[in-house]
Structure 1
Amino acid sequence: MAKMLGLLFMIGAMLFGVGAEPVEDKQALLDFLQSINHSHYLNWNKSTSVCKRWIGVICNNDQSQVIALHLTRTGLSGPIPPNTLSRLLALETVSLASNSITGSFPTGFSQLKNLTYLYLQSNNFSGPLPSDFSVWKNLSIANLSNNSFNGSIPFSLSNLTHLTSLVLVNNSLSGEVPDLNIPTLQELNLASNNLSGVVPKSLERFPSGAFSGNNLVSSHALPPSFAVQTPNPHPTRKKSKGLREPALLGIIIGGCVLGVAVIATFAIVCCYEKGGADGQQVKSQKIEVSRKKEGSESREKNKIVFFEGCNLAFDLEDLLRASAEVLGKGTFGTVYKAALEDATTVAVKRLKDVTVGKREFEQQMEMVGCIRHDNVASLRAYYYSKEEKLMVYDYYEQGSVSSMLHGKRGGGRISLDWDSRLKITIGVARGIAHIHAQHGGKLVHGNIKASNIFLNSQGYGCLSDIGLATLMNPALRATGYRAPEATDTRKTLPASDVYSFGVLLLELLTGRSPLHAKGGDEVVHLVRWVNSVVREEWTAEVFDVDLQRYPNIEEEMVEMLQIGMACVVRTPDQRPKIGEVVRMVEEIRRLINTENRSSTESRSEGSTPIPHAIETPSTSFAH
C-alpha cells in the first residue's frame, strides 16, 4: 500500500508540476523570506510550486499570479523588506497579523492596487498612517489595531466606497475623527487612542465602545449651536443671566435621575408589551397552558415561554401527549422528536443536571431566544419548573452532522461529499461569529460538537445548544472538543469556541471522532493524532477515505487542514479570531466555485488525490 501511494505521489507530482508558475511573484516572496526573520513554519522552497505547496500563499485560478498572503502567527519579526511584497501586483489579501513586525507602514503597498483585505493587527508598526488610502479603491477590510501608529486618521478613508470594516483600536492616533460618511461601513473601532473633539454625526450610529479610551464627545451631548462645532477655547464673557452653579448642578442631577427613570420605564414597557411595531426585536411571551384554577403556583408551573416569530401553538399537555422518539442522548440531556396532534414536529431537549436557579436560567434563555441567524438553530420556546427544564427547537429531518459522519453505513445514512463538508464548515464558522457578536460579545457557545450541528435548508451548518454550558456542571462538557483552558465552562472564552471549531474541522476532514478507540482500552485524541501524522510529512493519511474519490480537491483539503490546526493550538491568544476563520474558509470556497474549476474537473475526472507534506511548528501544535 505504501509503495502504491508513493507511486501515486510521483505520478501526481509529474502531472501537477506542469502548468503556469508565477515566476516573478515567486522570486518576490523568496526575496521577502530571505530578508526578514521568520519561524521554520514556512516551507517556501525554490524547487516546489508556489501555488500548490507554499503555506500561506494562494494564487488565482490559472496560477499565474499570487492573490492572497496569509502569514498570521508565522514568527515574522523586523521591518518588511522594501521592494518585495510590493511586487505582488495582483495581491487582494494581505494578512500579517500577530507577528512582531516593526517599522512604518510599508510605503510600497501603494502599488497593490487590487488590495481588498488588509490585516496588520497585533504587530509593532509605528509612525503615521498612509495619507492617501484612496489608492486602494477596492479596500473592504482594514485592521491595523494593536500597533503604535500615530498621527491623525487620514480623511482619504472617506473615499473608500467599498469599506465595510475599519479597526484602529489600541494605537497612538491623535487629532479629530474625520467625517467618514461611508454607507458601506458596518464595523468601526477607534477605541484606546489619543483622539479628541466631537464624534461626527455620520459615525454616531456605531456603539459608544467604538470611541472609548479617547477624549471624544458625542455631538448629542452638546447644545444645538455647538453640535457640529469645536468649542471656542476663549469664549467672550457676558453677564450671567442664567443659573448659578449649585442650581445648575441640581438640575443636571435631577435630570439624570429623571432620565434613568424614563429609560427604565420604557424598557419595562418594551419587555412586557405584547404588541409593538419593532419587528426586529425578538420578544417572548408566556402562555397559560393550564385550564385548571389551582392557584398561582400551579399556573406558573404550566407556562411555556414562546419567542416572537414562532408560529407554534401548543401547551405542556400537548407535549406530554405527543408521540415521542428519542433522537439522541448527550452530556446535557436527551433530545426527542415530538409529533404533535396537529402534525407539527418539533425537537424537544430535556435538560439534566442544571446547576443554576430559575432566574439565571430564564435570563440565559432570553439571551439565546432572541438570536436569529441562518446558521444558528432558533430556540422557539422553553419550559422551566423545579422538576423539568425543556427547550423546543425546529426539527431537522436529516439528523446531526455526527450521525452523517459516524452513523452506520447504509440504512439511510447520508454520505457527506467534499462540497457538503465545506458548506458545513462555512455555516458553523458564520454561526459562531454571529453568536460572538451578540450581547456585547458576552455570549459564547461553549459546547460545539458534531452532534449539535445540523444542516439548514441550503445545506450549510447550523448550530444548536447555544449557551447551555453556563447552566451545567463543567465536567459534562464534551471532552474531545474541549479546549485545554476550558476547565470551567462558566469561564469559556471565544477562543475556546475556536478550538472546538478546529476539532470539528479536523473531524470533517478525517472522518474520525474526536476520541476514538485504537484497540483495547487505548483512546486516541484526534488533535494529537493529526499532529503526529502531519509531522511525519505524510498528510494523505489524515484525510477521510470517503473523500479520496473526489478529483482535484487535495489542495483545498490541505488549506482547510492548515486552518483547523491553527484553531487547535494550545495557547488561546495564538488562535485566529472566528471572523478571520470565516474569511479564510469563504475565500477557499470562493476560489473553487468558479467555471475554471468545473472545466478542470471535467478534464481530470478520475484523478486521484495527491499526498502533501505540511510543516508545523514543533511547539505550537504540541498537546
Structure 2
Amino acid sequence: MLEQDLSALVAFRNATDPSNLLGWSTQRDPCSWQGITCINATIGSSNGSVSEIRERVFKINLPGVGISGAVPAGVLGSLDELMVLSLRSNLLSGPLPGDLIKCRKLRSLVLQRNRFTGPITWDFQSWPRLVRVDLSYNTLNGSLPQSLEGLPRIKIFLVQNNSFTGKIPAIQRGSSIVDFSVANNSLSGQIPQTLAQLPPQDFSGNLDLCGRPLGFVCSAPASPEPTPSRPAAPTQTKPGRRLSLGAILALVIGDVAFLAVLTTLFMLCYWHKQHKREISAASARSPKPKAEVSSSDDFTREFSSSDKSAEAQAGQLVFLKTSKNNFSLEDLLRASAEMMGQGSLGTSYRAVLEDGQMVAVKRIKGVELGSKEFEKRMAVFGEIEHQNLHVPRAYYFSKTEKLVVTEFIPMGSLAAQLHGGETQQSISLDWSMRLRIALGAARGIACLHESLGGQVVHGDIKSSNILLSRSMEARVADYGIAQMLGPGSESALGPVGYRAPELSATRKLTQQSDVYAFGVVLLEILTGKAPWRSNHSGEMLDLPRWVQSVVREEWTEEVFDQGILRFSEEEMVEMLQIALVCVATLPGDRPKMRNVVKMIEDVRNWGTGGEELSSEELKSMDRP
C-alpha cells in the first residue's frame, strides 16, 4: 500500500478508535483491515518517466462499529483514490472533514446517524462523479451549498433531520435523482420547480417552505399600490375623468348579460349530468343481451350477468376499514372498467367510479372456501399493514363471484417495467431503482411471513405481483389468494417459472417456496429476462438454471441486464449470490425472508445498525 494511504488510515484510527476496537494492526496488510477495500492503481514517479502498480484505498465501509470523536483535518483528503466513504450509525462528532474535497473520485458519501455539527463547506462541483450523498440525522446547520446546482450524476441526496436554513438550491432533478429528502429542517422559501414533482414527505417538517408539492401557495410580494381592474364607483375616478351616463349603463347591461349566460351554462351542465345519471341507472337495471356480455371485457357487465343468485342480489361490498371514500356495490357496477390482465388466479380490471375514484378489481376463480372462512381470511389480510404491501380495501363474496378491490397503481408492475406490458407510464429502471424495489419487496414478504405467528404464506410471488408506486416503492400484491383455491388446482401451486422444485411432490405452498419464487424475481431484476429462457442448444430452461449454467461456464457480464452494466458490478454480484441462495434446490438451504432482507440491506448498507427506528425513519431507510 502507498505510504500516504497507510498514514491516513493510522491517523484516522488514532483519532476515532484509540482503543483499536477495529483491530487494525500494521502487522497485517491494511487492505485486509475491517471495512477497508483496495484496488490496484498506477502510480507515476516524480519525473513521470516510471510508473508502478500499487494498492490504494478506494472504499471505507464502517457502519455502526462504535467509532467516535472528530475526524482530524488533513487525513481523509490524502486518500485521492477514495470512491466510497460510509461511516453511518457511529458517534462521530465535530465538523465535516473539509479536506475530503480533495478526493476527486468520490462517488458515494454516507455519514448519516452521527453527531456532525456545523455547516457544509464543500464545493460539490469538485466531485464530478458523485452519485450518492446521505448526511441525514446529524446536527448540521447553515445553508445548503449552491454548488449542488447542476450536478448531472447525483441520484441520491438525503439531508433530513438536521438544522439547515435558507432556500433549497435548484438541484437539476431531470431523470437523475431517484431519492431526495430535506425533511425536518428549518428551510424556507419556494421549492424549486426542478424538484416540484417529488413526494411532499420529502419536504415535510420545514414550516416556511411553500409551493408544490406541499400545497402551500407562496405569497406574492405585496404591490405598493394595486390598480383596480375597473372603477368601483364614479366617485373613485380622478377629477376630469368621470364616467358618462352611457358608459355606466353599458357596464351594468354587460354585467347582467354575463350573469345570464353563466346561469344558462350552469343549468345546461346540471341537466346533462342528471340525464347521464338516469341513463346509467336505467342501464344498470336493464338486463344485457347474452351475446353482448360474452364479447365484453367490462367486468361490470360480466359480473351483473353471471351472478343472478338470491345471495348475490342481497350481497354487499365489504370494506375492511372505514373511510369517507368507501362506495357501494352498485357504484362499482356502474363504473367504467377495462381489463388489465389475466393470471393464474383470476382476471384484473381497472374501474373508474362516477366520483373519479380509480380502483383495481380482481375476479378470483377456483375459490373453494365457504363464505365465513373467506371473510375471516380477508379480514386478517386487511389488518396486516406495511408500506410494501398492497393491502386489499374491500371484497365481495357470493357462490359464483369473488371480488377483491384494491387501490389502483398507475405505474403498473415490476414485470411490466422490466419486460413491457400494460402500464400508464414506462420507466427505464436503473440499478439503484432495482435495488430499492428488491429491498422493498423483500421487506413486504418478510412482514407477511412474520404475521400471525409465522403462519402466512404468499403463494403467488412473481414480478407481476410486485406493483410500483409513483415514488417507485414496491407493493407486494395478491398475497394469500392461492391458499384459497382447491388443493387439486394447478394454480394453487404458484405460477410456472416461479415454482420451487419440491412443489411437484409435496403440492403444498410454504414460506420456503415463497423464498424460491422471490429468488426468481431477484434474477429477473438482475438479468432483465423472463422466468423462462432457452440455452444455446435451444433447450428451455427456467431462469435459475439458465443463470447457473452461465455462471458455471464463466462468471461473465452476460448474466446481467445490459441496461445496468454501467452501474456497480460489485453490488450486482452480491445480489446475484443472494438470489442463487434463495433458489437453492433443497428448501432447508434457503434463508428465511428476514435474513434475505438483512443481506440486501448489507449490499448498500441500508441496515438500521441495530437501532430501534420509528416507522417514518424505517420508511426513509428504504431509500438506496
Q: With structure 2 as the length reference, what TM-score do the two structures score?
A: 0.47
* Structure with bigger RCO (C-alpha 8 Å, 6+ apart): 1
Rg larger in structure: 2
